[in-house]
């Protein structure tokens, strides 16, 4: 079973959750997701830093990343995650919608 870290804009968190469910139930992948804020609470700068650090650690232990490209949008943070994964020689899969 391959493990992928899901990468995408938080503006598409609902779609990300749906894709993660599909990938695990239909494709047999192990998906590591980012943390979704409860009730749309805005994280503090310190919390954002901790979440970013954790997300990059997920990429470190994954076979690759699964990038959600919804309506042609890939934000700056996701571009950095793609670059990071490529530098590590990780597989990069794009989900275009």
- The residue segments making up the domain with residue 12 are 3-96
3-class SS of residue 42: coil
Question: Helix 76-87 vs helix 45-61: angle between axes, to the nearest 10 degrees?
Answer: 30
pLDDT tens, position by position, 54-77: 999 999 999 999 999 988 899 999
**Number of domains into which the chain is organized:** 1
- Distance (Å, whole) CA 11 – CA 8: 8
55 neighbors 38 (Cβ within 8 angstroms): no
Does the pLDDT at position 43 exceed 90?
no
């Amino acid at each position: 079973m391959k493990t992928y870290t899901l990468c995408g804009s938080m503006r598409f968190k609902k779609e990300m959750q749906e894709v993660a469910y599909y990938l695990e139930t239909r494709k047999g992948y192990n998906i590591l997701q980012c943390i979704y804020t409860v009730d749309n609470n805005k994280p503090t700068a310190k919390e954002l830093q901790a979440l970013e650090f954790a997300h990059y650690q997920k990429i470190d232990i994954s076979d690759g990343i699964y990038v959600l490209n919804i309506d042609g949008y890939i934000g700056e943070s996701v571009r950095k995650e793609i670059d990071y994964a490529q530098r590590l020689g990780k597989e990069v899969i794009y989900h275009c919608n």
